[in-house]
Amino acid sequence: MKVELEKVKPMDIERRSFEIITEELGRELPEDTAPIIKRCIHTSADFDYADNLCFSENAVEKALAAIKAGACIVTDTQMAKAGINKKALAKFGGEVCCFMSDEDVAQAAKEKGTTRATVSMDKAASLKKTLIFAIGNAPTALVRLYELIEEQRIAPELIIGVPVGFVNVVQSKELIMQTDVPYIVARGRKGGSNIAACICNALLYMAGGR
């Protein structure tokens, strides 16, 4: 089979990709959420994100305000941390934290018979910083965030709730959507560290980070 490559300059690949996505979507998306939804599709080639992404009222507006005010992003994987545009975030004074590989977190999780993700959320809660959570892997992180919110021990600016998987993933997202905290959630089983990072980047670029 003869393979024909499309001639697109490196700098134009992303723009061309978004054109194709817009074309194939075949419908208008809300102006504030469109860049996020399209970037998730760009990251996964999965058009399900056009339907499964849920935004609380004015979530994007609130998220952009938080980013511009220098909010830090807490992730539940080193992969999500690696994927977030840290230069863009630094422009606003923010940084990315991930506590999953911390020795004290591993130790506490072992002692309590819980997940490192759960303990990571407790560690984040103790930070007393303005925080956005980007959870792409561990439903237990979302469940713990829900508890911390209910106990009024934490009040995040935004929760990006996009863990992926088969055990308590669906439920953990529903819990977050029952709180008063602004959220962007991929309803259902889908998501991932790549999706968590890409939603952060979409917000950073909307905020003017590049």
- Residues annotated catalytic, as ranges: 42
Shortest separation between residue 46's beta carbon and a second copy, angstroms: 6
Nearer to a second copy, 13 or 69 (CB): 13
Question: How far is residue 20 from each of residues 29, 56, 185, 201, 206, measured CA to CA in Å?
Answer: 15, 28, 24, 20, 20
Order of strands across the sheet with 131-135?
Answer: 53-55, 183-186, 158-161, 131-135, 72-75, 96-98
Contact by Cβ (8 Å): 167, 143: no
- In the bound state with a second copy, the residue whose beta carbon lies nearer, of 61 and 150, is 150
Q: For binding to a second copy (CB under 8 A), which residues are involved?
A: 1, 3-6, 8-10, 13, 16-17, 20-21, 42-46, 77-79, 81-83, 109, 113-115, 140, 143, 164-169, 171-172, 174-175, 178, 188-194, 197
Residue 146's identity, in one-letter code, is Y
Distance in Å, CB of 22 to a second copy, minimum: 11
**C-alpha span between 157 and 184 (Å, rounded):** 11
The residue (of 58 and 78) whose beta carbon lies closer to a second copy is: 78
34-44 helix and 13-25 helix, angle to the nearest 10 degrees: 110
Cβ neighbors of 82 (< 8 A, separation 6 or more) are 197
Contacts with 101 (C-beta within 8 Å, 6 or more apart), sequence order:
78
Strand-pairing partners, residue 132, are: 73, 158
3-class DSSP state of 33? coil
Q: Minimum Å distance from CB 32 to a second copy?
A: 23
Q: In the complex with a second copy, which residue's Cβ is closer, 36 or 60?
A: 36
Q: 115 or 157, CB closer to a second copy?
A: 115
